[in-house]
Amino acid sequence: MAEFSIIDRYFKRTSNTDVSLGIGDDSAIVTPPLTQQLVICTDTLVAGRHFPLDTSAHAIGWKSVAVNLSDLAAMGAKPHSILLALSLPTVDHDWLAGFSQGLFACCDQFGVALIGGDTTQSTQLTITVTALGWIEQGQAITRAGAQVGDHICVSGQVGDAAFGLQHLGYPLQQRLDYPTPRCQLGQQLKGLASSMIDVSDGLAQDLGHILKASNVGAKLSLDQLPIDASLKKLDLRQAWQYALAGGDDYELCFTISPQNFEKLSRQQLDVPLTIIGKITQQTGLLFEYMGEISPLHVHGYQHFA
Ligand code: ADP
Ligand code: MG
């Protein structure tokens, strides 16, 4: 089957998102809203590296969109559209049907249109999604901006996806396969959070990026980490490794002043938040357990390590 029939059959469809020119020409055209800035990111998923080889096509489709929307959410941006670069070893219609359904399920849930892409043959299944979103001028929440005395917060639970990866077939595999990008929360944090990141490589490493960019340190309370009941049954140290070093959670970790946290608490949120620590002047990341310093070492995921 030719590349064009794949595109027509699986990826071209009408959407109600505002797009000036979608799939079918040499480029797509989008008219940016006046006064907004374009926020753009891209993420690649390689079979066997970013997801187990037997992951369902539907989950791969969902996740390839979700991880990008999570990056937009981490800036406070409103997602608008995506481009999809797909490298396929073979043309497998069952796979393509499942993949496109998963991809559009995620697009539809977050009001996003697929506006273009590229389709090629390659020995390894590789999916690259580029996502576009909007934010009011100067309102983006970056990794730099954490202030001494800010609370450190995280949405949802951490460690679920890493636990799911080690226990395929158990309920937390759902959190690995179908991460929920925190798009609404990200936008609600505009004007309130002082810095933000999405947790893709483990909370400790990702929070470390905020600390470095903001030139501050942090104290994290291990007893406050929001973890699933399945992790609570484990040895504490093992649970902490999942929560702090496990990747793929796609929760938002942000810093916020106590006053702004009060304001945020009065809003309706679609995901629970937990205060897990505090920003300190002294650089470095310290762990506390029941008020005592704990000598814990954690490492997040690194490519080429
Ligand atoms: P060109 O050769 O000019 O780069 P292509 O033949 O690669 O164009 O693509 C034709 C049209 O289909 C373009 O609008 C492109 O954005 C779109 N397209 C190609 N592959 C995909 C895909 N996997 N998903 C969505 N749109 C795609
Ligand atoms: Mg062309």
pLDDT in tens, 212-245: 999 999 999 999 999 999 999 999 999 999 999 9
Q: Is the pLDDT of residue 303 over 80?
A: no
- Do 158 and 200 fall into the same domain? yes
Q: Is 305 part of any domain?
A: no
- Do 58 and 86 fall into the same domain? yes
Q: What percent of the chain has pLDDT over 90?
A: 93
Question: Would you say the CB of residue 86 lies under 6 angstroms from ligand 1?
Answer: yes
Q: What is the CA radius of gyration of the chain?
A: 20
Question: Would you say the CB of residue 262 lies under 6 angstroms from ligand 1?
Answer: no
pLDDT in tens, 24-47: 999 999 999 999 999 999 999 999
Q: What is the pLDDT of residue 281?
A: 98
Q: Is the pLDDT of residue 1 over 70?
A: no
Q: Is the pLDDT of residue 305 over 90?
A: no
Specify the number of domains making up the chain. Answer: 2
Q: What is the pLDDT of residue 299?
A: 65
Question: Would you say the CB of residue 24 lies under 6 angstroms from ligand 1?
Answer: yes
Could you tell me which residues are beta bridge partners of residue 25? 23
Rounded to an integer, the average pLDDT of 66-78 is 98
Q: Whose CA is nearest to atom 10 of ligand 1?
A: 24
Q: What percent of the chain has pLDDT over 70?
A: 97
How big is the CA angle at 280 (ends 140 and 260), to the nearest 5 degrees? 45
**Token digits of residue 248:** 């793929």
Q: Is 101 part of any domain?
A: yes
With bands split at pLDDT 50, 70 and 90, how would you rate the model's confidence at 136? very high
Phi first, then psi: what are they for 29, rounded to 5°?
-125, 130
- Looking up tokens 């007893």 gives 223
Q: What is the pLDDT of residue 162?
A: 96
Secondary structure (DSSP) of 146-161 = --TT-EEEEES-SSHH
Task: State which residues form the domain around 48.
Answer: 3-136
- Do 101 and 161 fall into the same domain? no
Characterize the bridge pairing of strands 273-280 and 151-155.
Answer: antiparallel
Task: State in Å: Cα 119 to ligand 1 middle.
Answer: 7
CATH number at residue 231: 3.90.650.10
Task: State in Å: Cα 118 to ligand 2 middle.
Answer: 10
CB atoms inside a 10 Å sphere around CB 144: 14
Q: Is 298 part of any domain?
A: no
In angstroms, the CA 15 to CA 30 distance is 13
Q: Is the pLDDT of residue 61 over 80?
A: yes
301 labeled binding residue: yes
- Do 163 and 122 fall into the same domain? no
CATH number at residue 13: 3.30.1330.10
Point out the domain boundary residue: 112, 136, 160. 136
Mean pLDDT of the chain: 95
Residues near 252 by Cβ (< 8 Å), separated by ≥ 6? 73, 74, 154, 155, 182, 185, 186, 189, 196, 197, 198, 199
- Do 24 and 125 fall into the same domain? yes
Could you tell me which residues are beta bridge partners of residue 38? 134
Q: Whose CA is nearest to atom 20 of ligand 1?
A: 118
Rounded to an integer, the average pLDDT of 267-278 is 98
- Do 83 and 212 fall into the same domain? no
- Dihedral sign of CA atoms 257, 258, 261, 262 in order: negative
State which of 118, 120, 121, 128 you would mutate to test the pocket of ligand 1, scoring each by most atoms of that ligand within 8 A of its C-beta: 118
Three-state SS at 289: strand
State which of 119, 120, 126, 130 you would mutate to test the pocket of ligand 1, scoring each by most atoms of that ligand within 8 A of its C-beta: 119
Q: Is 270 part of any domain?
A: yes
Q: What is the DSSP letter of 9?
A: I
- Do 125 and 234 fall into the same domain? no
- Do 164 and 81 fall into the same domain? no
Q: Residue 117 CA: which ligand is closest?
A: 1
- Do 105 and 164 fall into the same domain? no
pLDDT in tens, 100-125: 999 999 999 999 999 999 999 999 99
Q: Whose CA is nearest to atom 8 of ligand 1?
A: 26
**Nearest CA to 67 among 195, 188, 201?**
201
71 labeled binding residue: yes
Q: Is 300 part of any domain?
A: no
Task: State in Å: Cα 27 to ligand 2 middle.
Answer: 7
Task: State in Å: Cα 116 to ligand 2 middle.
Answer: 11
Q: Is 110 part of any domain?
A: yes
Q: What is the pLDDT of residue 304?
A: 63
In angstroms, the CA 162 to CA 157 distance is 11
Task: State in Å: Cα 133 to ligand 1 middle.
Answer: 20
Answer for the pair 103, 65: CB distance below 8 angstroms, yes or no: yes
Q: Residue 27 CA: which ligand is closest?
A: 1
**pTM for the full predicted model:** 0.95
Q: Is 145 part of any domain?
A: no
- Do 251 and 204 fall into the same domain? yes
In angstroms, the CA 276 to CA 159 distance is 14
Q: Is the pLDDT of residue 191 over 80?
A: yes
Point out the domain boundary residue: 136, 160, 183. 136
Atom of ligand 1 nearest to the CA of 26: 3
CB atoms inside a 10 Å sphere around CB 159: 30
- Do 10 and 69 fall into the same domain? yes
122 labeled binding residue: no
Q: Is 303 part of any domain?
A: no
- Do 156 and 275 fall into the same domain? yes
Look at 116 and 302; give whichever has higher pLDDT. 116
Residues near 159 by Cβ (< 8 Å), separated by ≥ 6? 225, 227, 228, 231, 239, 242, 243, 244, 246, 249
Question: Would you say the CB of residue 84 lies under 6 angstroms from ligand 1?
Answer: yes
In angstroms, the CA 110 to CA 210 distance is 26
Point out the domain boundary residue: 109, 136, 163. 136
In angstroms, the CA 190 to CA 32 distance is 19
pLDDT in tens, 142-177: 999 999 999 999 999 999 999 999 999 999 999 999
Q: Is the pLDDT of residue 252 over 60?
A: yes
With bands split at pLDDT 50, 70 and 90, how would you rate the model's confidence at 301? low
Q: What is the pLDDT of residue 296?
A: 85
